[in-house]
Structure 1
Amino acid sequence: MVHEHPGVSPLRRLGNVRALDEKQFVLDAMLSGWSDQQASRALSWQTIASRAQVVRRFGEFTGRYPWEWSPGDLEDFTTQAKSRPHPAARSTIRGYHTIIRLFCDYLTDARYEWATECEERFGSTPQQICHEWNTATHLLDYEGRAERRALTYDELEQFFTAVDERVETIVHRGRKGALSALRDAQIFKTIYAYGLRRAEATGLDVADLRPNGAAPRFGRFGAVDVRWGKGSHGSGPRRRSVLTLPELGWITDGLAQWIDAARPRFTDSASGPLWPTERGSRVSPRYIDLRFAAIRDQLEWPAELSVHALRHTYVTNLIEWGYAEKFVQDQVGHAYASTTAIYTSVGDDYKNRMIAKALSRVYGGPDDTTQ
């Protein structure tokens, strides 16, 4: 394999080895070289590996090698992705196109000499198969499903009531699992109270909870250090500190109960994962998805709603409570303000209050503050 000689360029390795399957060997060398190029740009290995997987999947679909690909192959691949029983989302297809375009850019760049190598070996050269007429463009800020939204205040209360009742039901029936149910309830409340993503929540350690000198009333839970924030362009995790807010100060009582009384029954260690399993490992994002889906189905909510709705709700609520957009952006770890705006779907009560203030300001009345 080409990866057995670190520090040696793929082209030099090709010249030193006679492969039984020459085409596959060259493809592996191409992917190895592309991996080196991306690693030199300090992209994360997870990003590099996922991109290589897409390229291999595309190659398997076409049944041909990169120096044999044509624009029609990309169009057939896209049509197939959109025709599946569960069609790929527009954003997913755009991601496929971007990855294949980047790979073709690498292969057709004269500085890497792949065109010369392929011409000598196979009599054909790689080409750029992605162009403006056969790729999806980024026309909208948000390309997800319209059904995915923030929860209303009533829905949020229903959800937390349901997760708390699950704990009480298990205890009342004398069944095992009450501690796990308590843990799950606290995880969901923490996700909402700090606007976390799934991976951010499951990646928390006890040491990530810390005081905030500007808000001593919250004690040791004044802030949460998020170490596994979503990066951009393959940059790796982006760290941030999320402050505990007065409107959500109730979260500190639940965290104290969990850490002081419940968590020690899962593990003897005072440090390590904030949410351990019965076996001492870390709760996974997939587990969080399954638990949320179970509660969602119990409440007969739309299947499109996911645990990410709690993060949407957090952003929406902060805007409704009057927090500045820049503050909200920093709290949730968005690189751009436009991303925060996508998550915002203020409720009718908030909008009604705003229109009432506007009417009073223009026409005068009890809420008029300009007089």
Structure 2
Amino acid sequence: MSHGVDLPGAAHLVLADGVVHLAPESATFEAMLEGWARQQRTRFLDWKGTIHPRLLLVRRFADFTNEYPWQWKPCEVEAFIDHLRGRRQNFAVSTARGYQNILRLFCEYITDARYGWPLKCLEYFGEAPAQILHEWNTVTHSSEYEGSPDRRPLTYDEVQSLFDAADGRVEEIRARGRKGALAAMRDSAILKTVYAYGLRRQEAARLDLPDLRRNSKLPDYGRFGALFVRYGKASKGGPPKRRTVLTVPEFDWGVDVLGHYLEEVRPRFSPGNHPALWVTERRGRISLRRLDEAFETARKIAGISEELDLHSLRHSYVTHLLEFDYPERFVQDQVGHEYASTTAIYSGVSDEYRNRLVQRSLKKRHADLWEMQ
């Protein structure tokens, strides 16, 4: 049989002709996955963050259906999503759409005649794979924000309560003579840094010492004039985005926080030559789970709403920068948003701030009336 085009991931490149497989169905499925992985690698997609999770989801769906891709039907993907919703109470719409998009991409690959899988499956099994995800059985993107309505920025008082709780935990551990005071000091510094620079979890966890940057325009901040973020959120399977987050005067207390951590806390972990900014008792880089736990512990002590999470500090950063009258474009660059509409979703300015804007407008239009008061 004639081969298809020699595209990376083509069937004849990953499934040799003339070889008799003891389990042809399994061999063909594995070859499909390997071919799809090759196709994605040639597009320089990230293995750990994109390709591998996609392959895992396809295997998970295949296990759920107990069938091979050339046997899949639309009803099975519908049952799969319904099954996930039933098992996970907080199964997000965005997560469902992401799963559906991954399965759609896989089906597009195995149904594309250029890769030769339709002919190969017809030759081996008498049936060809088909696209199982369509407009009528997938989630539509009807709203800019699809997260929980309970998620919001923290108020200034809540931020202060959170930080007080994190600091108070250090004193409590010391007073009881227990271990963990050093880790609690580190956790307190992390929470303050996440807020002071509007960082995502991954961005905070992957900071290294060389990522602390000077700002020639603000020499008083020394080595803490900016943070160089190297592991920002990637787009469409691409590499992590990079950006420089400047230290702003309203959050320059973060300079003292980082300075104290580097001088008094981090050396006591004995990190040696480890480059990570945030290190653990085992001299390794702090995990994403530990970041979540640090926030959750402080949140419970502070008595703040349980719907809020670590990412809410990033929402708070955006909101408070806007309330400090920083231009929207500056805020967008600080947090690494490609579109201004994304930054707008993050913001939740207070009534007090909006009233100040109204009063400012009135003063401009009716300055004589305000001068008389």
TM-score over 0.5 for the alignment? yes
Change (3 A) 1:199 1:315: same
Tell me if structure 2 keeps the 8 A contact 1:14–1:29: no
RMSD: 1.7
The aligned counterpart of 1:4 is none
- For residue 27 of structure 2, the aligned residue among 25, 28, 35 is 25
**Residue 190 of structure 1 aligns with which residue?**
193
What is the rounded CA distance, in whole Å, between the counterparts of 1:102 and 1:367 in structure 2?
62
- Answer whether contact 2:153 2:313 (CA < 8 A) is retained: yes
Residue 284 of structure 1 is matched in structure 2 by: 287
What are the ranges of 5 or more consecutive residues in structure 1 without an aligned counterpart? 1-6
Q: Secondary structure at the match of 2:17?
A: helix
Q: Distance in 2 between matches of 1:132 and 1:9?
A: 27
In structure 1, give the amino acid aligned to 2:17.
Answer: G
Pick from 39, 42, 47 the counterpart of residue 41 of structure 2: 39
Which residue in 2 is equivalent to 1:211? 214
Query: How far is the alpha carbon of 1:271 from its aligned partner?
Result: 5.7
Asked whether the 8 Å contact 2:229–2:243 carries over to 1, the reply is yes
Pairing 1:123–2:115 present: no
Whole-Å separation in 1 of the counterparts to 2:368 and 2:347: 29
Alignment of 1:170-181 (within 5 A): 170-181=173-184
The 1:358/1:71 distance shift into structure 2, 3 A limit, reads same
* Whole-angstrom distance in 2 between the partners of 1:365 and 1:89: 53
1:328 partnered with 2:331: yes
Query: SS of the counterpart of 2:270?
Result: coil
Give the SS at the match of 1:15.
coil
Question: Match for 2:16: what amino acid?
Answer: L
Mean Cα displacement is larger for which, 125-134 or 354-363? 354-363
Cα drift, residue 83 of structure 1: 2.2
Partner of 1:293: 296
Letter in 1 for 2:192: K
Counting matched residue pairs gives: 362
Structure 1 residue 76, shift from structure 2 partner: 1.3
Q: Deviations over 1:103-155 (max 9, x none)?
A: 11111111001000000100100001111111111111111111111000110
Give 1:81 deviation, angstroms. 2.1
Aligned to 2:3: none
From the superposition, tell whether residues 40 and 169 of structure 1 become closer, same or farther in structure 2 (CA, over 3 Å): same
8 Å Cα contact 1:206/1:271 also seen in 2: no
Aligned to 2:4: none
Shift of 1:366: 6.2
- Aligned counterparts of 1:330 and 1:283: Cα–Cα separation in 2: 26
Kindly provide the CA deviation profile for residues 24-68 of structure 1, in whole angstroms up to 9, marking residues without a partner as x: 110111111111111111111120111111111111111111100
State whether residues 224 and 241 of structure 1, in contact with CA within 8 Å, keep that contact through their aligned partners in structure 2: yes
Partner of 2:87: 84
Aligned to 2:345: 342
Query: In 2, Cα distance between the equivalents of 1:74 and 1:302?
Result: 36
Alignment TM-score, normalising by the size of structure 1: 0.93
Tell me which of 17, 27, 31 is aligned to 1:15: 17
Q: C-alpha distance in 1, partners of 2:202/2:247?
A: 19
Within the candidate set 51, 71, 76, 2:74 is matched to 71
- Give 1:301 deviation, angstroms: 2.6
Aligned to 2:137: 134
Among 251, 255, 259, the alignment partner of 2:254 is 251
Distance, in Å, in 1 between the alignment partners of 2:55 and 2:119 is 22
Q: CA deviation at 1:173?
A: 2.2
Q: 1: distance between equivalents of 2:66 and 2:271? A: 54
Distance 1:251 1:271 in 2: 23
Counterpart in the other structure of 2:319: 316
- The amino acid across from 1:11 in the alignment is H
2:94 & 2:284 partners in 1: Cα distance?
A: 33
SS at match of 1:242: strand
2:212 maps to a residue whose letter is: L
Which of 77, 87, 105 does residue 108 from structure 2 map onto?
Answer: 105
CA distance in 2, matches of 1:8, 1:209: 42
Question: How many angstroms does 1:168 deviate by?
Answer: 1.4
- 1:19–1:77 distance in 2 versus 1, CA, 3 Å: same
Name segments (4+ residues, structure 1) moved above 6 Å: none
Distance across 1 between alignment mates of 2:192 and 2:370: 35
Q: In 2 relative to 1, CA 367–293 (structure 1 residues): closer, same or farther, beyond 3 Å?
A: farther
TM-score with structure 2 length normalisation?
A: 0.93
The one-letter amino acid paired with 1:254 is V
Q: Which residue of 2 aligns with 1:51?
A: 54
Assess if the C-alpha contact under 8 Å between 1:207 and 1:271 holds in 2. Answer: no
After superposition, the C-alpha distances for 1:282-314 in whole angstroms (9 at most, x for unaligned) are: 110101111211222223333221100111100
2:45–2:237 Cα contact (<8 Å) kept: yes
